[in-house]
Structure 1
Amino acid sequence: MADYTIDIVTGDMPYADTCEQVHIVLIGTKGQSEELELRKSYHDGFAQGQTDSFRLQDIPDLGKLTQVQIKLIPFDLNTPYVKAWYLNLVRVTHAEKDNTTFTWTCKCCRWLGTEEGQQLSYILPVSTYRANRQHRRLSSKTINIATKDKNKQISYNRHIFPLAAKHKEM
């Protein structure tokens, strides 16, 4: 089982937002997910110029993602009208236990649910793929206090700094 974070980026143009339901299917080299609803309240929706993040947990490991299917579904199924939505991109991130993070980006840059044709579903190929491995640092900022010749000193990353000079009485 794996966890995925999905970022949905709505375009920054007039009327790019939508309050309709958005569903997604992740398609990878090891299979595909079931259709998942990315829940937003009707009042919030997917706002113009906004990035919405969703965390999906306990999804079967899909391997390397190849495509994402995105669907726009009206809240009221009895209404033929769908509020068009301009989807800029979908970004999917998966972190492994060994600190390796995989990021797949699918650019859309188009309207879903326009009056012309009512295209409500798109399959987006992965346009960019990135894998990063974070290396853990071993406590490089530890402070050690040592005494040498009765003067207190501090060691910070192998540099020695005096804490106080010895006071001489007159």
Structure 2
Amino acid sequence: MLAITSLLPSPASDHINALIKSLETEFGLTDVQATPEPHLTYQIVEPTNMETLKAALRDIAATTPPFIAHTTGLGMFPGDSPVIYIPVLRSDALNELHHQIFNIAGPLCSRTDKFSAPDLWLPHVSLALHDTTPELLGPVLQFLNNQTFNLELAINNLAILRPEGDMFVREDVFEFGGK
């Protein structure tokens, strides 16, 4: 499975990486670092033809102007390994980009993530996942409570991330070119 994302540039990525590093130092949480670049995920896919998918994403990027997305607060997906994340506020520009990606991914992929459908998609930036526990949740949230989560994210690219061993690495990045 591949992830269609936007990689987040500095200064937001620096702030997010510092938060992730502090969670490693304080609590030993490291699994989120399997994807070393902070990003916003639009869709998880299994493409039937990688070159066709890349061409479609390149076309979307070429006509999309860069924009700013905003974050606020903290969120959590519950479970045996809760996911702790920073919610990204939906905007017209973000919804339109997600809609375009969603529309091209279905026909070009044998599998897509059902939680990336427009009515279910919750844009976020993960801070901790897989190695968290319900017991750690309280102390981690208490620790994060004094941090800043009101960020401006420059959304200026589409990226494909692919698995490589235990990591997710860049397959390709398409910079936005729209005006």
Q: TM-score, normalised by structure 1?
A: 0.24
Larger helix percent:
2
